[in-house]
Structure 1
Amino acid sequence: MLQDTFNLMPLWAFVAACGVTLVAGFVKGAIGFAMPLVMISGLSIFLDPLVAVAGIVLPIVMSNLLQVMRFSWAEARAALREFWRYIAVICVMILIAAQFVTMIPTQTFYLVLGVPVVILSLIQLVGVRFHISPAWRRPSEWIVGLISGTIGGLTGTWGPPTVLYLIALDTPKAKQMLVQGVVYGLGSVTLFLGHLQSGVLNGVTAPWSAALLIPAFLGMRLGFWMSDRMNPVLFRRATLVVLVVAGVNLVRRGLMG
């Protein structure tokens, strides 16, 4: 079984994957999201999409646990109580959508991931701001949660819709980081369970995903350190530019093969 894991990719690809994961962890630690986006966008350049999806599962569980641990249990519980409907919809849709990921053709997979990455990143990059009034709070939880969970189950990333949703609610920065950690943390556990069921995460791919925990952890620690020292607005814009470029490349591969 372990020999099969070694045969998933050549050594150079594994080293490159560790580099991509280190960068993804750094971005996650610095701005609180985008780890799955960076990993999938980067890993899919030289790995099979399903191998890439399997690789991100354990690192995102660990990274979100680290993010939540920066806050107190009382704060995390309050965030869970306030956003439980949104979290519940995401988790249910992740479980459902994850079962279809092995049925999606490779080029379609690239488009399913690339198009939302480009659109959502451009929305944030150009500074478009939405506002959700209290009267629309509950309907928006169901609608955005449905979209986020479906994308998350198919591609392993549901960060951008969540970020846009929290911004539209005028969520303060510190609380936004906390809520992101809670939403992503519970969602990543659901993704883990979903891909155990789908077969994407198995005895061959699980050790590969576990190996990426080390660069992910190191990247997170560097990101936490940098987040207190770098202009977050400038860094987020640079990150979004990278995501747009990566997303356009995925769309290109989906359209042209």
Structure 2
Amino acid sequence: MENLFNFSNDGLPQHLLLICVVFVIAGLVKGAIGLGLPTVAIGLLSLVMKPMEAAALLILPSFFTNIWQLAAGPDLKLLLRRLWPMLLGVCIGTFVAGLAFRQVNSRWSGMGLGLALIIYALMGMASIQWTVKANSERWLAPVIGTVTGMITAITGVFALPAVPFLQALKLEKDALVQSMGLGFTVSTVALAVNLAFAGSLDLSRAGNSLFALVPALAGMWLGQILRSKMNPVLFRRCFFAGLLGLGCHFFWGAIA
């Protein structure tokens, strides 16, 4: 699709219904398990548009839902003191990859998105757990952040490898959810700056991103209700199985 924001005869932007449905689903997943909004939104929207066009729509919904998640945590100052090397790496990786791969071929972008979703889904389904020792965290954090930033700049997906790294720090449940919100917030801001410099973030995209905010917040509220009623293990299995299918679809489409 050449231009997501062409106007149809009735004066309404194309695909608004699709955007609404996708962000309700993505918000529901985030509300239920604390992550997944950018992954689900990018994955589904990329069925009909380029990943970076989808990433532009993601800016406001991702930012405000992450602020919501971030504000609900126990100790932001403590997390900032501990995680700033990773967060700095996220910014550096996003900007470096944005400059180096500004004209990424859509085929390579689709392949990267597919691989990111497949790896993320397989790790989630396998419930892989590992621990990072304190002396390793000091040098590993900026490396993890930089790689995460580069993947974000190319695919629009924030989760890898930052989420497995945060889980490996063995934070308490509330602190883990808050740390993910913090990492996602920084990734969202860095991606927005990157898209702005690349000329991919204009007023029309900002307007549609604002439109996407409402269903994302509604979905997140529904997801929080669902979390209290549904078996979280079953939900996570269904979620990661769906991501695996999406990842295979994108990867196969890129190499076929």
In structure 2, what residue type is equivalent to 1:112? G
The residue that corresponds to 1:189 in the other structure is 189
- Cα deviations across residues 137-160 of structure 1 (Å, max 9, x unaligned)? 112212211211111122222214
In structure 2, what residue type is equivalent to 1:103? Q
1:65 to 55, 62, 67: 67
CA distance in 1, matches of 2:7, 2:50: 13
CA distance in 1, matches of 2:188, 2:13: 27
The residue that corresponds to 1:29 in the other structure is 31
Larger mean CA deviation between 222-231 and 138-147 belongs to 222-231
The residue that corresponds to 1:41 in the other structure is 43
Q: Secondary structure at the match of 2:235?
A: helix
Q: Once the 2 structures are TM-superposed, how far is the Cα of residue 101 of structure 1 from its aligned partner?
A: 5.4
CA distance in 1, matches of 2:171, 2:199: 37
Whether the aligned pair in 2 keeps the contact of 1:148 and 1:161 (CA below 8 Å) is yes
CA distance in 1, matches of 2:34, 2:108: 28
Whether the aligned pair in 2 keeps the contact of 1:99 and 1:197 (CA below 8 Å) is no
CA distance in 1, matches of 2:130, 2:118: 18
The residue that corresponds to 2:104 in the other structure is 104
Q: Once the 2 structures are TM-superposed, how far is the Cα of residue 100 of structure 1 from its aligned partner?
A: 5.0
Q: Once the 2 structures are TM-superposed, how far is the Cα of residue 40 of structure 1 from its aligned partner?
A: 0.9
Aligned pairs, number: 251
Q: Once the 2 structures are TM-superposed, how far is the Cα of residue 102 of structure 1 from its aligned partner?
A: 4.4
2:17 to 15, 18, 34: 15
The residue that corresponds to 1:207 in the other structure is 207
Question: What 5-or-longer segments of structure 1 have no aligned partner?
Answer: none
Mapping 1:121-136, distance limit 5 Å: 121-136=121-136
In structure 2, what residue type is equivalent to 1:41? G
Larger mean CA deviation between 98-107 and 59-68 belongs to 98-107
Question: What 5-or-longer segments of structure 2 have no aligned partner?
Answer: none
Whether the aligned pair in 2 keeps the contact of 1:114 and 1:250 (CA below 8 Å) is yes
- Cα deviations across residues 202-254 of structure 1 (Å, max 9, x unaligned)? 12322121111111111111112222333322222221111111111111121
Q: Secondary structure at the match of 2:191?
A: helix
Mapping 1:107-256, distance limit 5 Å: 107-256=107-256
Whether the aligned pair in 2 keeps the contact of 1:58 and 1:192 (CA below 8 Å) is no
Q: Once the 2 structures are TM-superposed, how far is the Cα of residue 13 of structure 1 from its aligned partner?
A: 2.6
CA distance in 2, matches of 1:136, 1:112: 28
Q: Secondary structure at the match of 2:203?
A: coil
CA distance in 2, matches of 1:108, 1:210: 29
Q: Once the 2 structures are TM-superposed, how far is the Cα of residue 39 of structure 1 from its aligned partner?
A: 0.7
Whether the aligned pair in 2 keeps the contact of 1:121 and 1:160 (CA below 8 Å) is no
- Cα deviations across residues 170-196 of structure 1 (Å, max 9, x unaligned)? 222221101001111122122222211
Alignment TM-score, normalising by the size of structure 2 = 0.90
What is the root-mean-square deviation of aligned Cα atoms in Å?
2.1
In structure 1, what residue type is equivalent to 2:27? G
Q: Does the C-alpha gap of structure 1 residues 106 and 167 become closer, same or farther in structure 2, counting only changes over 3 Å? A: same
Q: Once the 2 structures are TM-superposed, how far is the Cα of residue 71 of structure 1 from its aligned partner?
A: 2.7
Whether the aligned pair in 2 keeps the contact of 1:13 and 1:46 (CA below 8 Å) is no
Alignment TM-score, normalising by the size of structure 1 = 0.90
In structure 2, what residue type is equivalent to 1:16? L
CA distance in 2, matches of 1:71, 1:164: 19
CA distance in 2, matches of 1:250, 1:237: 20
